[in-house]
Amino acid sequence: MNRRIVLHVLLAALALLGAPAMAADAAPTNVTVTYDHPEQFTETKKVRALSPRLDDDSYLKTLKSYTEVRAGKMLPPGERLDIVITDIDRAGNFEPWRPYPMRDVRIVKDIYPPRIDLHFQLLDASGKVIREGARKLRDPGFMYDGLAMPGNDTLRYEKGLIDRWLRKGPDQL
């Protein structure tokens, strides 16, 4: 049997068994992400108004998990980060003047940049607030700066916003 095939079979078996090696991206306990009234988010209102058939907020769970894992990797031991996301407007928009079925397709252009508004608290081991604030994450050059995730990830631009913010490190959030 080819080694490559054996390796793929072993990795698939480990994934099915829930092996600890596959749990490396489990959400850390030192970061929490919550959403403040997601039904009022710009994204939610936009989708419901322009393309109600696509009304699906499952992206919130994915973005929450991604943010928790990424933030957990940058925090020093003992520190805790609490993030409350207050608004999201994903990259792209629906253009209802387009003929069906294109009116239900998210069109990504530089005139529709991603936006995430949040409030955060960075706490030390005793629960004392080290830093807190509100941030408006924006990237008007999101299509050209190369910071987005590669491939077909539908949240690549939003993840790029989160990564840019977290890349500053806990001292400069």
Give tens-digit pLDDT for 1-46: 444 433 333 334 434 344 333 344 566 789 999 999 999 999 999 8
SS (H, E, C) 121-150: EEECCCCCEEEEEEEEEECCCCCCCCCCCC
pLDDT above 60: residue 72: yes
Q: What is the pLDDT of residue 25?
A: 58
Q: What is the pLDDT of residue 83?
A: 98
Rg (CA), the chain: 19
Q: What is the pLDDT of residue 4?
A: 40
43 is written with which tokens?
Answer: 């994204």
The full set of domain ranges for the chain reads: 25-172
What is d(CA 164, CA 96) in angstroms, rounded to the nearest whole number?
A: 32
